[in-house]
Amino acid sequence: MTDLVIRGKVSQFGGPDDVGVAADEGLALFELMDIRPMDTRLFLVDQPAGTTGLARRLDPQALYVACRWDYDQTSREWLRDCEATVINPKTQLQALARPVDWGPSADTGRAADLSPGLAAALGLETGDECVVTVPLP
């Protein structure tokens, strides 16, 4: 089995306080009907007041990641159930994270959006570089 490796700059996203996503913005890999008991560690129990989208319902302390996935290599279903390894190449700190969304937009120059909790665990800030590795099916 080979791996998909994505390297580049990061930003943070998700959770009730993320005003960079619309209050009704969804996620590419999850819809409300897709959330299973094992996924409750990714999402807040209740939808934050004034929001309807799953991007704002993400638990900012959970470990999740978004990249511009190639669905021909890694289908939505595969990504929803796998774990990515995210590494801070400067410190070699690494953590497992669940893919939850497609992004960031190519015009940002960034390769990955990390949850605030994942970014903190790895000591990464917006504009820093990370390496995301996902096993291919």
Tens of pLDDT, residue by residue over 50-99, are: 999 999 999 999 999 999 999 999 999 999 999 999 999 999 999 999 99
Boundaries of domain holding 97: 3-135
Structure confidence by residue, pLDDT tens digits, 6-54: 999 999 999 999 999 999 999 999 998 888 887 788 999 999 999 999 9
In this predicted structure, what is the pLDDT of residue 33? 86
Q: Which tokens in the block code for residue 108?
A: 């940002």
CATH code (residue 14): 2.40.40.10
3-state secondary structure 10-22: EEECCCCCCCCCC
Q: Is the pTM value of this prediction over 0.85?
A: yes
Total domains, the chain? 1
Pairing of strands 110-114, 3-12: parallel
Q: What angle do CA 66, 90, 41 make, to 5 degrees?
A: 35
